[in-house]
Structure formats: structure tokens, C-alpha cells
Amino acid sequence: MTNRRKEYGAENILYVTVHMDEKTPHMHFGVVPITEDGRLSVKEILGNKKAMTEFQDRFNQYVNDKGYKLERGAPKHKS
């Protein structure tokens, strides 16, 4: 959770939860995307689809660096 606080600001994180409703357990982070100057901006704080994929990769690496064996989930593909 520490790296999420650094990345988005502790004051902007609403919740973190683990879901077991799919084949692979997964986490959800609820973030209010507030910029440093107080604006609400999803694009500026969370970015686009590529940025979210990179976020998931960084989170996976962070957890594994802490000594936990976390398998990176498979990305969803459009059919």
C-alpha cells in the first residue's frame, strides 16, 4: 500500500479491497484523482489504459520485491 500512497497521495485513496469473485483473486483500489492544484482529473492522475497496465506491472514488481509470490494477472483482451 505504501507505493500507492506515494503514487496517488494517501489522502486520495478511498479504499483497497481484495475480490475473490473470479478465477484469480484480485485487488481494487478506489482513488479520487485530485491534482496537486485541486482539480479532478482522471487523465492526469490515472492516465490511459497503457498507464493502468504499467501501474499493474509496477504493483506486481513491488509486491514481489517485498518477498511475496504474486502472479501477474492476465490482461483482458477484446474478443
DSSP symbols for the chain: -HHHHHHH-GGGEEEEEEE-SSSS-EEEEEE--B-TTS-B-HHHHT--HHHHHHHHHHHHHHHHHTT---PPPPPP---
pTM: 0.64
Per-residue pLDDT tens digits for 20-42: 998 878 888 898 989 889 999 98
- Taking 70 as the pLDDT cut, the residues of the chain under it are 1-4, 75-79
- The C-alpha R_g of the chain, in whole angstroms, comes to 14
pLDDT value for 40: 93
pLDDT value for 65: 94
pLDDT value for 59: 86
